[in-house]
Amino acid sequence: MSTRVLLLCAWSGPATVIVATIGFLIAGVLPFPLGPNSSVTEVVGFYSDSTRVAAGLVIAGLGVCLVFPLIALIGVYLVRMEGRTPILAFVQLITGAATGVVLLVPLLLMTAISFRPDRSPELTMTLNDISWLLFITPIGPFMIQNIAIGTAILRDQRGLLPRWVGYVNYWVAFLFVPDVLAFFFHSGPFAWRGIFVFWLAFVAYAAFLVVMGFTLRRAILDESKLDASEAVAV
Amino acid sequence: MTLDISADADLPEFLGGAPADSQRVRRPERAAGERRTPGEPGLWVFILGDMSMFGAFFVVLLWQRRAAPAQFAVSAQELLRPIGLVNTAVLLLSSYLVVSALWAQRSGGMRRATLSLVGALACGLGFGVLKVVEYLHVLGNGRAAPATDTFYTFYFVMTGVHLLHVLIGVVLLVAWMGVLRKGRAVTRFVEGSAVYWHMVDLLWVVIFTLLYLVCAA
Amino acid sequence: MTRGIPVRATAVWTLLMAATALTWWLGADHAADLGSGRTWVALAIPVAFLKVYLIGSEFMEVRTAPRALRLVFGAWAVVLTVALTTIYLL
C-alpha cells in the first residue's frame, strides 16, 4: 500500500503534463496561444467559444494541480537525503507549493474571462494580459525549487537519486530565466508566447516533471524490490 | 533497506530517528590511462544542455537578422568592438589560468593553484566591469532600444544571460579556492567548476563573433 | 616537484589568441575590400567554432574523455557551424 501510494505520486509528474496539455488543446491555448500582439478581435474571439474554452481550462487547471503529489514525493526523498537538518527539503516544499498555486491561479482567471463572453473588450484584453503575465513570469519559486532539488541530490552522499537528475534540475532552472522578459516585449521570441519564453518554459517544465516522475518511480521500485511482499510494479 | 512509511515506522532523521540507511555509493575505480569523463557524466547533461540553449539563441538571432540585415548592421556597429575583443582575450586568459590551477592542484601545488585562480577571478571581474562600461555606453547613446530594435534585444538578452553565467562562475571559482585552502585534492566539484568556466569562455567566443562581427558586416 | 601546466595547453592558448585576431580581421571592414565580403565574414563562424572545439577538447579535457562525449560535443559544434553559416549566407 505504501509503495503504491508513492508510485502514484511519482506518476502524477507525467500525469500533470498529459492532463494539462489535453486541457490546453481543448481550450485552444495550444498549439497556438494568444500573444501580446493579438488583436482585440482575436482575443475576444478566443474567449467567445466560452463553453469549450472553460471546459478545457478547467481540465488544465486540475491538471496542473497534479504537480502537488510529486512535490510531496520529492520532499520525502529530500528529507531522507538531508538527514538531521533538511533545509533544502523544506525550501523545495514551500517553493513547490508556490509553483502549483502560481500555475493554477492564472488558469482560473482565464476561465473567469470566458465566464462572460459579452464583457467589454477592453476588460477582456486587460484580464487576458494579467492572466498570461501571471502565468509566464513568476520564475522565482520554480528556480529556487529546482536549485534546491539539484543541490540536495548533488550533496547526497548516499546517492538516493542519480546525480544527473541534480544537473537536470540546474539546467531547468536556467531555462526559466528568459521568462521575465515577457514583461518587456509585445512580440518576438521574448514575448509571452515567444519561443524562448512560453515554449522553452513549457518544454523545460514538462521535462522536469517527467524526469522526476520516472527517476523517483525507479528509485521506489528498486528499494521495494528488497521487500518482495510490498513490491507492486505500477 | 526497506522503504517503510507505515504508522509504526521510526521517525525521520530530522525528528530524531535513525538514518534511513548508511549505504555509500561506491564509485568505480578507474584504471590509470583509461578515458575519463571530466567532472562526472551527469555534469555534461547540464553543460551540453546549457550550450544548446545558447545554440538556440544563436540560430534565432541569425534567423531574425535575415529580416533586417541593414538595420542589424547599423545597430551592431554601434557596439564598442575593441571592448568585445578585449573581453574575448580576457576570458581566454582566464580559461588558461583555470587550466593552470587545475594542473597545479593535481600535483599538489596549492599555492600556485590559488594564485592562478585569483588571476582567473580578476579576469572574470574585469570582464564584468568592461561589460557594464559597454552597457552604459550603448544605453547612453540614446539609439539603443532593446524593446523595439531586434538586434539590441538579442544583444542585451544574450550578453545579459551570459553575464549571469559569469557571475555564477565567479562564485564557483571562489568555492574552489575554499577547497584549495583546505588542502584537498581535485574533486568532482573542482573539475566541474573548471568545465563550467570553460563553457562560459567558449560561449562568449561565439557571442562575440556573432554580435560584434557577423551582425555588423 | 610539482608539474606545471602542460606545454600543450599553452600552445593551444596561443593558437586561440591568434585565431581571435584572425576573426577580428575577418570581421573588420577592410576584409570586405577583398571582394565578396559576405564570404569572408561567414568564415568567422567556422573559425569561432574551431576555437570552441579547441577549448572543449583541450581545456575541458574532452579529448581524453569517452568517445560518446567527444562525439556529442563535436556534433554540437558541427551542427551549429553548419546551421549558422547557412542561415547567414541565405
Average pLDDT, chain A: 93
Q: How far, in Å, CA of B42 to CA of B192, rounded?
A: 10
B vs C, Cβ pairs < 8 A, gives: 129
Please write the tens of the pLDDT for every residue from B139-183: 887 766 767 788 999 999 999 999 999 999 999 999 999 999 998
Is residue A81 packed enough to be buried (19+ CB in 10 Å), middle (13-18) or exposed (0-12)?
A: buried
- Structure confidence at residue A52 as a pLDDT band (50, 70, 90): very high
Q: How many Cβ contacts (< 8 angstroms) between chains A and B?
A: 91
Q: Which residues of B touch C88 (CB under 8 A)?
A: 62, 65, 214
The residue of chain B with its CA nearest to that of A225 is B2
Percent of chain A at pLDDT > 90 equals 88
Contact C55, B95 (CB under 8 A): yes
Question: Who among A84, A162, A230 is closest to B14 (CB)?
Answer: A84
pLDDT one-digit tens code per residue, A80-117: 999 889 999 999 999 999 999 999 999 999 999 999 98
| Distance separating alpha carbons of residues B116 and B103, to the nearest angstrom | 10
Q: In this predicted structure, what is the pLDDT of residue B1? A: 56
Query: Of the candidates B1, B24, B164, which has its C-beta nearest A226's C-beta?
Result: B1
Interface test with A, best of B1, B40, B46 (most A CBs within 10 A): B46
Instruction: List phi, psi (to 5°) of A158.
Output: -85, -10
**C-alpha distance from B6 to closest chain C C-alpha (Å):** 44
Instruction: List, as one string, the DSSP characters of C14-59.
Output: HHHHHHHHHHHHHHSHHHHTTS-HHHHHHHHHHHHHHHHHHIIIII
Residues of chain C whose pLDDT is less than 50?
Answer: 1, 31
Burial A167-186 (b: 16+ CB within 10 A, else e): bbbbbbbbbbbbbebbeebe
Tell me: pLDDT of B9 over 60.
Answer: no
Which chain B residue has its CA at the smallest distance from A90's CA?
A: B14
B153 to A190: CB separation less than 8 angstroms, yes or no: yes
Distance CA A17, CA B110 (A): 49
Whole-number pLDDT of residue B30: 52
Count CA atoms within 13 Å of residue A166 on its CB side. 22
Q: pLDDT band at A225, cuts 50/70/90?
A: confident
The amino acid at A166: G
Task: Considering only residues B138 and B128, tell me which one the structure prediction assigns the higher pLDDT.
Answer: B128
Query: From CA B161, how far away is CA B155, in angstroms rounded?
Result: 10
pLDDT at B12: 78
Does B62 contact C88 at a Cβ distance shorter than 8 Å? yes
The model's confidence at residue B7, banded by pLDDT at 50, 70 and 90, is very low
Query: CA-nearest residue of chain B to C30?
Result: B217
pLDDT of residue B10: 62
pLDDT at B24: 47
Compute the distance between CA of residue C4 and CA of residue B60 in angstroms, rounded to an integer: 42
Query: Residues A200-213: pLDDT tens digits?
Result: 999 999 999 999 99
